Amino acid sequence: MKIWNTEDLLDHEQFAYWREVLCEAFVTLRPERPREQSTGGFPSRVTACPLSTINVTTVQSKAHHVIRGNTEIRKSPQEVYFVNLQLTGRCRYETEGRETIIGPNEFAVVDSTRPYFLDAVQRDSVGDRSHPKLAHAVEYGIAGRVARDRLRERVGGQVRMCQIGRAAEEFW
C-alpha cells in the first residue's frame, strides 16, 4: 500500500505536491484549484492498494478541478478506465459532450484515452473527525484503475460513458 499525504508540507507547497501525486497515482492530469481557494493550504491524501490487476485508491482532498485534455493524453497514453465510486460529497464530470454530478454510492466510469473534466465539489457537512485538517474534504472515493481490454472482456464489448451517474446498486 502506498500513501501520499500533503499535510506534512508547508501550506504553500501542498497543492504543487498534490499535482504530482495525482499524476503518479493515476495518469498525467492537470489539477487546478478553484479561484476562491487559490491560496493557502491544501491538506489532501491518496491511498493506493493493488488488488489483483486493479489498482484501488482512496482520495480525500479539498475541492479542486482535474483536467485530462489532449496534451495530457499525449504525455501519458495509457489505456485504462477509472471506475470512481463517490463515498461522500459530490463530483461533477464532463466528457464527450456529457455532464453528470454523482453523489455518495454513485459512480462514474472515465476513459483515460478521452478528454475529461472532473470537478471535486466541496461538501457541506463535517467529515471524518480523525483527520481534522480534512474535515471539509471531498472524499471522491475509491477509484479503480482497470485496463481497458480487461473491462471490455468482462462486460462483453465497448464501454461507453452511458454508465456515468448510475447508482452502484443498480449497476451491480
Nearest CA to 45 out of 117, 128, 168 is that of 128
Q: Cβ contacts of residue 69 below 8 Å, gap of 6+?
A: 30, 115
Cα three-residue angle 53-143-41, rounded to 5 degrees: 135
Matching residue, cell 499525504: 5
Half-sphere exposure of 157 (CA within 13 A, CB side): 1
User: Helix and strand tally (H, E) in the chain?
Assistant: 4, 11
In order of start, what are the domains of the chain with their CATH numbers? 2-171 (2.60.120.10)
Beta bridge partners of 32: 65
Mean pLDDT of the chain: 76
Task: State residue 104's pLDDT score.
Answer: 83
Element (H, E) at 146: strand 138-147
Per-residue pLDDT reduced to its tens digit, 37-95: 778 899 999 998 888 777 888 888 888 999 999 999 999 888 888 888 888 888 899 99
